[in-house]
């Protein structure tokens, strides 16, 4: 087999915070990285070129949604997910484990996998480690995820352990399926997913077993599902202690800017979350000055932009009054601008953290960022 495209390089470290680069066949991902979520083959309310211009090196697609509509085989016939959605850069796909538990109807889970009904049209489907990997290959995903069981919470310790051990067996089967494909392993990568709830012992067992199998990267799954931030961060920290330094670490489904800042501080390299896009469609903006609800009447006559120094032009060119007007009027452009502003801010935050780690100023940058969020407003003289 020829040399693999996938590689991770640790460029710098500042405390536990890491600055790295993930090489893939479709381009390099600068880490820490935030991956916007393109559930149904689109980052909602953004043109792909805008997503790219925001600084995103990679986006996330969902096996569950795409297998139901338009179907993985259909996407493959049309040249793969990258071509389908006009995004020639890296794509990571979620394996479907999370969505099948949160969205699908009439789920029946057994050792082989999950049988379920589509939330769209009630049609019956089966997902297994083998089928999930096959779908991710059909989509052409650059970074594929093992199939896992994501528990609905609250769950007993015994349930958490049972699901974690099933996910380990599915990890093994995912890996076998991935490597049995002659072409996929050269250009693509496969990540394992650490489970185990908030139990440090279970997280250790899960991480050690996955590392023993050997994956291209490791994700921390099953967090940010309602637990307090400090519990999440403690679990992340405990988990990372058992993961190798020379592989990327991905905290799934996280999160708020503060969640990401604190997780980077503990050594996480990758994130994904619907928060910036979803909040943008609901009138909320993430900025250096904290979160702003544009629906609030106090913005109605405010001529100031959200952030005159933002990298995102939408945050500079439009007044708060205009954004308020669009949100109040239910205008699509309001969703478009706020989504772009939020994704832009998430990328700007990551860029700032990468630069800080490079020059060894992470602690000071973290303080400055926290201070900005507290301030609530740009300089009144602006």
Binding region for a second copy (CB under 8 A) out of 221-229, 234-242, 257-265, 297-305: 297-305
Nearer to a second copy, 213 or 333 (CB): 333
Query: Angle at CA 342, nearest 5°, toward 222 and 230?
Result: 35
Query: If binding is defined by CB under 8 A, does position 300 make contact with a second copy?
Result: yes
Q: Which DSSP string corresponds to 89-151?
A: S-EEEE-SHHHHHHT-EEEEEETTEEEEE-TTT--EEEE-HHHHHHHHHHHT-SEEE-----P
Is residue 272 among the annotated active site residues? yes
Binding of a second copy by 328 (CB under 8 A): yes
Return the C-alpha torsion angle 61, 65, 68, 74, nearest 10: -20
Q: Pick from 16, 25, 47, 179 the residue near a second copy by CB under 8 A.
A: 47
* Identified catalytic residue from 94, 205, 259, 269: 94
Name which of 293 and 319 has its Cβ closer to a second copy: 319
Pick left, alpha or beta for residue 88 (phi over 0 → left; psi -120 to 50 → alpha; otherwise beta). alpha
Question: Is-catalytic flag, 94?
Answer: yes
Q: In b/e form, how buried is each residue of 110-130, taking b as 16+ CB within 10 angstroms? A: eeebbbbebeeeeeebebbbb
Label residues 205-216 b or e (16+ Cβ within 10 Å = b): bbbebbbeeebb
Segment near a second copy (CB under 8 A), from 4-12, 139-147, 321-329, 358-366? 321-329
Kindly identify the residues of this chain, within the stretch 82-101, that bind a second copy according to CB under 8 A. 84-86
Residue 296 engages a second copy in binding (rule: CB under 8 A): no
Q: Which is nearer to a second copy, 41 or 194 (CB)?
A: 41
Active site residues: 94, 272
What residue ranges bind a second copy (CB under 8 A)?
A: 40-47, 69-70, 74, 77-79, 84-86, 281, 300-301, 303, 317-319, 321-322, 325-326, 328-329, 331-333, 335-336
């Amino acid at each position: 087999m020829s040399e693999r495209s996938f590689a991770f390089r640790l460029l710098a470290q500042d405390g536990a915070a890491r600055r790295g680069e993930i090489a893939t066949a479709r381009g390099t991902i600068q880490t820490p990285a935030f991956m916007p979520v393109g559930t149904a083959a689109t980052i909602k309310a953004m043109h792909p070129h805008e997503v790219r211009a925001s600084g995103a090196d990679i986006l996330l697609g969902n096996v569950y949604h795409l297998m139901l509509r338009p179907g993985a085989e259909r996407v493959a016939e049309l040249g793969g997910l990258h071509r389908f959605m006009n995004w020639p850069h890296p794509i990571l796909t979620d394996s479907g484990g999370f969505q099948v538990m949160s969205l699908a109807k009439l789920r029946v889970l057994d050792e082989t996998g999950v049988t379920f009904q589509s939330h769209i049209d009630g049609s019956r489907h089966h997902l297994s480690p083998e089928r999930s990997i096959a779908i991710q290959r059909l989509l052409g995903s650059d970074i594929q995820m093992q199939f896992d069981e994501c528990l609905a919470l609250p769950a007993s310790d015994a349930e958490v352990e049972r699901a974690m051990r099933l996910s380990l067996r599915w990890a093994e089967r995912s890996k076998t399926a991935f490597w049995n494909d002659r072409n996929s392993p050269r250009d693509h990568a496969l990540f394992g997913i650490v489970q185990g709830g908030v139990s440090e012992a279970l997280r250790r067992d899960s991480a050690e077993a996955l590392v023993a199998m050997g994956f291209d990267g490791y994700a921390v799954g099953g967090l940010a599902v309602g637990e307090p931030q400090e519990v999440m961060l403690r679990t992340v920290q405990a988990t990372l202690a058992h993961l190798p330094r020379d592989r990327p670490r991905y905290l799934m489904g996280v999160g708020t800017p503060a969640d990401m800042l604190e997780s980077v501080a503990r050594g996480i390299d990758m994130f994904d979350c619907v928060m910036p896009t979803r909040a943008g469609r609901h009138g909320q903006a993430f900025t250096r000055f904290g979160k702003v609800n544009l629906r609030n009447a106090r913005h109605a006559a405010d001529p100031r932009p959200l952030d005159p120094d933002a990298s995102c032009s939408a945050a500079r060119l439009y007044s708060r009054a205009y954004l308020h007007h669009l949100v109040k009027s239910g205008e699509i452009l309001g969703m478009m601008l706020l989504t772009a502003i939020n994704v832009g801010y998430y990328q700007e935050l990551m860029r700032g953290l990468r630069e800080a780690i490079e020059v060894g100023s992470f602690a000071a940058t973290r303080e400055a960022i926290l201070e900005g969020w507290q301030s609530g407003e740009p300089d009144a003289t602006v």
